Amino acid sequence: MRFWLSLKRAGLPAHIGIIVIVLFAFAAVFAPWLAPYGESEVVDAVPWATPEESGTLLGLDQLGRDLYSRVLFGARNTIALAMGITILAFFMGMTAGFFAAVVGRWVDLLLSRLVDIIMAFPTLFFALIALSIFGTSIPVLVFVIATLDSTRVYRIARALAMDTNVMEYVEVARLRGEGLWWIMRREILPNTLTPLLAEFGLRFCFVFLFISSLSFLGIGIQPPAADWGAMVRENGVAITYGIFTPLVPAAAIATLTIAVNLVVDWFLRKTAGLREEY
């Protein structure tokens, strides 16, 4: 009840962000029922036909497929993959970070140095090498991006857990004889959840944009599956002819990213006790 009350009192930017996220989530979940054509169905042999010429809502892409249907299926593929990778990255990074902070000593030293080694390489460069070696299948894509992103989560989770680990209630739990996992689950996690939730939203944006970037480079989600980044690359030549087709998936990427950031910004202001000025 308190959450819904605070949500009702949120400013206009937060409301706009929430509405956009809900609309995109609805489109992703119900894409097969909302799309008038199949994900790879060719509607007409004429590439980049306008809505008036093709009788579709947004026109056709470079192969004559319905752009509106491709955008809907692209939302389903890209958002679902980004959410799955973010959840996996948080599970890996949070578990390792909490474990390093609570155990300390050589475990903390070993995990921290391993994370430093991974973070020493540029993320895109590391991903390009890994995907070139192991292929661009969905399981490989998920594991590579989740591993890279979990290093950022590890640093934040470890720092938060180290601050919480020295509190008196954690010491009391140790004196009661509580185990390591109980302390991590019942003492550390509840008291670090708020900043981690805000970080989850930001990490989702980074993963979402990273997947789109890889797809734009041709090593992300592979055809014929629809992906917004790949759709920008495939239809990029149309810009030289004054055709707006590649701007549609690009606008979808930008809109969702801005919406998530608006909600995260509201959440951070709320947890910090700052008043909304809208």
Q: Do the beta carbons of residue 93 and residue 87 sit within 8 Å? A: no
At residue 59, what is the residue type? G
Segment 126-134 mean pLDDT? 86
Give the pLDDT band of residue 150 (cuts 50, 70, 90).
very high
Residue 39 located in a structural domain: no
Residue 152 located in a structural domain: yes
- Residue 275 pLDDT > 60: no
DSSP E strand stretches across the chain: none
- Residue 243 pLDDT > 60: yes
Residue 158 located in a structural domain: yes
Supply the pLDDT for residue 41.
Answer: 87
Supply the pLDDT for residue 255.
Answer: 94
Kindly report, residue by residue over 175-205, the tens digit of the pLDDT. 888 788 888 888 888 888 888 888 898 899 8
Residue 262 located in a structural domain: yes
- Residue 239 pLDDT > 90: no
Residue 103 located in a structural domain: yes
Cα 58 to Cα 49, 54, 61, 243, distances in angstroms = 9, 9, 9, 11
**Selection from 155, 147, 117 nearest residue 130 by Cα:** 147
Supply the pLDDT for residue 272.
Answer: 61
The percentage of the chain sitting over the pLDDT mark of 90, rounded to a whole number, equals: 33
Residue 236 located in a structural domain: yes
- Report helix, strand or coil for 65: strand
Segment 104-111 mean pLDDT? 87
Supply the pLDDT for residue 47.
Answer: 86
At residue 91, what is the residue type? F
Supply the pLDDT for residue 278.
Answer: 47
Kindly report, residue by residue over 43-75, the tens digit of the pLDDT. 887 888 888 888 888 888 888 899 999 999 999
Distance of CA 67 to the CA centre of its chain: 23
d(CA 243, CA 263): 33
Cα 91 to Cα 36, 96, 178, distances in angstroms = 37, 8, 22
Residue 44 located in a structural domain: no
Q: How many structural domains comprise the chain?
A: 1
Supply the pLDDT for residue 2.
Answer: 57
Cα 125 to Cα 120, 130, 147, 212, 214, distances in angstroms = 11, 9, 14, 15, 11
Q: What is the pTM of this model?
A: 0.87
Give the pLDDT band of residue 36 (cuts 50, 70, 90).
very high
Supply the pLDDT for residue 25.
Answer: 93
Residue 3 located in a structural domain: no
Tally: H helices and E strands in the chain: 13, 0
- Can you spell out the DSSP letters for 147-166? HHHHHHHHHHHHHHHHHHHT
**First vs last Cα of the chain: how many Å apart?**
23
Range of the domain at 155: 10-34+53-272
Segment 15-37 mean pLDDT? 92
Cα 195 to Cα 120, 153, 192, distances in angstroms = 25, 11, 6
**Selection from 207, 227, 248 nearest residue 51 by Cα:** 248
Q: Do the beta carbons of residue 112 and residue 159 sit within 8 Å? A: no
What mean pLDDT value characterizes the chain?
Answer: 86
> What CATH number does the domain containing 221 carry?
1.10.3720.10
Q: Find the length of the chain.
A: 278
d(CA 223, CA 235): 13
